[in-house]
Amino acid sequence: MKKLRIITGITLLAIMQSFVTFGQTTDSTTVSYLEKDYETMYVGFGTGLNNYTGLIGGLIEVPLNENLVVQGAIGLGTWGYKFGGSVGFYIDGVQQGGEFSLGYTIATGSKEPIETKMELSNKSEQDVLILYKPAGTVNLAYNYNIKMGRANKFVISVGYAFGVSPKAWELKSTGVKLSSTSESVVNAMQPSGLLFGLHLLFGL
């Protein structure tokens, strides 16, 4: 009888220990799940210079793990519609802090020549037709993410856009030549150079 009581007591202790262990495991799993900010998808909008959204556009960010994300964007800039994608590496996790990114953008240009008043080589001004061709850039950027609320964030981006489309425009007007100043203006409009962006992203 004494042995039966001992066995029963050991069995009850084992069952209680199992419940305690299960509860601790569940709590740990729940906390771990809540801390996994990379399981959230972010969507938002942004603006900037030589960035992924152009002057105005939307973007989506999909975390792959705690530090790695992929991003896609579409927008409108000075060189037509803009499409871009990048891969980013977060230093301290997806939700906030610093991030390095590498990506590519393509600006569509114009389907038809656009009439613009420009200075000619003889220093006179005249309306000329310029066709803006597709122009691509390879972008290297540092992005700083500021957490807002539970899952939203404000992003400041700085970097450089390396142009990969030399002289992506063509003068369609015949019998005229642009001045060096006008050519410099058009070249400066073509996507490339310093990159700056501001983005607001909402966690889903």
String of DSSP letters for 37-100: GGGS-EEEEEEEESSSSBTEEEEEEEESSSSEEEEEEEEEETTEEEEEEEEEEESS-TTSEEEE
Q: Which of 70, 65, 197, 64 is nearest to 141 (CA)?
A: 197
Give the CATH architecture of domain 37-203.
Beta Barrel (2.40)
pLDDT for 63-96, tens place per residue? 998 889 999 999 999 899 999 999 999 988 777 8
* pTM (2 d.p.): 0.74
If residue 131 lies in a helix (H) or strand (E), which one and from where to where?
strand 125-132
pLDDT given at position 19: 39
If residue 30 lies in a helix (H) or strand (E), which one and from where to where?
helix 2-35
The domain ranges of the chain are: 1-35, 37-203
pLDDT given at position 38: 54
- Residue ranges of the chain with pLDDT lower than 70? 1-39
pLDDT given at position 40: 78
Q: Which of 186, 193, 46, 26 is nearest to 114 (CA)?
A: 186
